[in-house]
Structure 1
């Protein structure tokens, strides 16, 4: 009979683990009192969306043609709570009309309240997620 080390057991468990399914989603302090996991996730996403949308609204964007688009923002959130925009998917017309939109969204993240990272088995973990945002400029 082969004796397994605790590291071997851990490595096998990590292979079988679904890291995309976290015990607790990332959060803001305003969402902490919500007990239901999905509702807490929705609170986090809605808070982040509203924060970015309010920031963009204050920028008073000027365009030569009306823009209505749903852009998809891809984020990485580190286990230390650092949120980083990794990619933006949008229509070509939106990128042409608002070429600095990525810089604006990155600036909006500078004023975010503290982000609490996702938790898996009591440990903070890195997380990646997408967030759709509706852009309507006329």
Structure 2
């Protein structure tokens, strides 16, 4: 008879556990009205994107050439619901034309409503995700 230790059971469970998926995505109160997880995720992403666009559109950005770029912005949300911009992949032309773009992205996050963190197995967990943000200046 083989005796299984609690450490072996835990190790087996951790290997089977998919750390890339959460039971409940991070959310805003307005998104909680939606019933399905996919809808909540879309609402969450749209809220962040629209808030950033609103901030960018309120700024007077002057460029010497037209800019049409998609910036990939990586965010992290702590288990306490604190959002942080980790980094942004910005094209060199866009960066040269709008050198304060990353600062503007940070400023847009100030106006976000309270964030409810992701949940995995009943526990609030830290998550990280990337959103494409379309930048167009003529």
> TM-score normalised to the size of structure 1?
0.93
SS of equivalent to 2:107: helix
Q: Does 1:71 align with 2:71?
A: yes
Q: Pairwise mapping of residues 13-52 of structure 1 onto structure 2 (< 5 A)?
A: 13-52=13-52
Q: Distance in 1 between matches of 2:101 and 2:57?
A: 12
Q: Give the C-alpha shift of residue 3 in structure 1.
A: 4.3
Q: CA RMSD in A?
A: 1.3
Paired position in structure 2 for 1:4: 5
Aligned to 1:25, what secondary structure does the other structure show? coil
SS state of the match for residue 116, structure 2? coil
CA distance in 2 between partners of 1:41 and 1:26 (Å): 7
Counterpart CA distance in 2 for 1:73 and 1:3 is 45
Residues 112-127 of structure 1: pairs in structure 2 closer than 5 A: 112-127=112-127
Q: Distance in 1 between matches of 2:133 and 2:90?
A: 10
- Moved runs in structure 1, 4+ residues, more than 6 A? none
- What are the superposed Cα offsets for residues 50-99 of structure 1, whole Å, 9 maximum, x if unpaired? 00110111012111111111111011111111111111112111011111
Please, which runs of 5 or more residues in structure 2 have no aligned partner? none
Q: Secondary structure at the match of 2:20?
A: coil
Write the distance in 1 (CA, Å) between the matches of 2:77 and 2:129: 8
- Whole-Å separation in 1 of the counterparts to 2:73 and 2:118: 18
Alpha-carbon distance between aligned partners in 2 of 1:10 and 1:44, rounded to the nearest angstrom: 33
For residue 32 of structure 1, give the secondary structure of its aligned residue in structure 2. helix
Equivalent position SS for 2:51: helix
CA shift, 1:117, in A, is 0.8
TM-score if structure 2 supplies the norm length?
A: 0.93
5+ long unaligned stretches in structure 1 = none
Number of residue equivalences: 137
